[in-house]
Amino acid sequence: MKLVNDGAPNLPTPGFTVAAENPVYVQGDYNAAGSFTGAHSYAAVIADTVTMLSNNWRDINGFDNPYAAASRPGTTTWYRMAIAAGKVIGFPQPTGAAWDVGLDAGVINFLRYVEDWTGATLNYMGSLVSMYYSRQATGNYKCCGVVYQPPTRAYSFDTEFLVPSQLPPGTPRFRDINNLSFRQNILANQ
């Protein structure tokens, strides 16, 4: 599934949540028109994985150049949404393998990329939640060359999510009850 918003503040209000069991691709300024100061909706993507595609992305470039990230140049792009997605299961590094073989790459690869972002910034405001292991997009972390060149990462938490009424629709809510003490009352008539 691919979401395209082009930065226009036309997501449904009060918010918009997409949930998919497969990977989701988010293309272009999504819920942010070149900055985080304009109108926006409370948005979320819950998916197997989430790949960020810049404003410059063209599907044909991906099909024509699957092994040449430099032929898929990214450009500075803005995204504003909460993301809950899976991650790849890491495994022990084989002897003699490159430093990144076996890594899930942690938060730096939680948002996926398929472009050469050299000199471009990925501006992200939202919340990142890793809740499970991916079932569909299970490929290893492959930075720097064939698949992608990383962007300058300008990630920040969206403090509006601290207000429950400003959470995206369908946001899971958890309550925790801690028993601090226990007392048994035995009544005379029992």
Q: Given pLDDT bands bounded at 50, 70 and 90, which one contains residue 50?
A: very high
Residue-averaged pLDDT of the chain? 82
**Residue 32 near residue 39 (C-beta atoms within 8 A):** no
For residue 92, give every residue at least 6 positions away whose Cβ sits within 8 Å of its Cβ, in sequence order, or none: 102
Residue 75 lies in a domain: yes
The whole model's pTM is what? 0.81
For residue 69, give every residue at least 6 positions away whose Cβ sits within 8 Å of its Cβ, in sequence order, or none: 114, 115, 116, 145, 146, 147, 148, 149
pLDDT at residue 126, rounded to an integer = 92
Residue 183 lies in a domain: no
Which range of residues forms the domain containing residue 38? 2-166
pLDDT digits (tens, 9 = 90+) for 113-136: 888 889 999 999 999 988 888 888
Residue 149 lies in a domain: yes
Residue 185 lies in a domain: no
Residue 94 lies in a domain: yes
Residue 186 lies in a domain: no
pLDDT digits (tens, 9 = 90+) for 139-162: 766 667 777 788 889 999 999 988
In single-letter form, the type of residue at position 115 comes to E
- How many folded domains does the chain comprise? 1
pLDDT digits (tens, 9 = 90+) for 9-47: 667 777 888 888 999 999 988 888 888 887 788 899 999
Q: Bigger pLDDT: 117 or 88?
A: 117
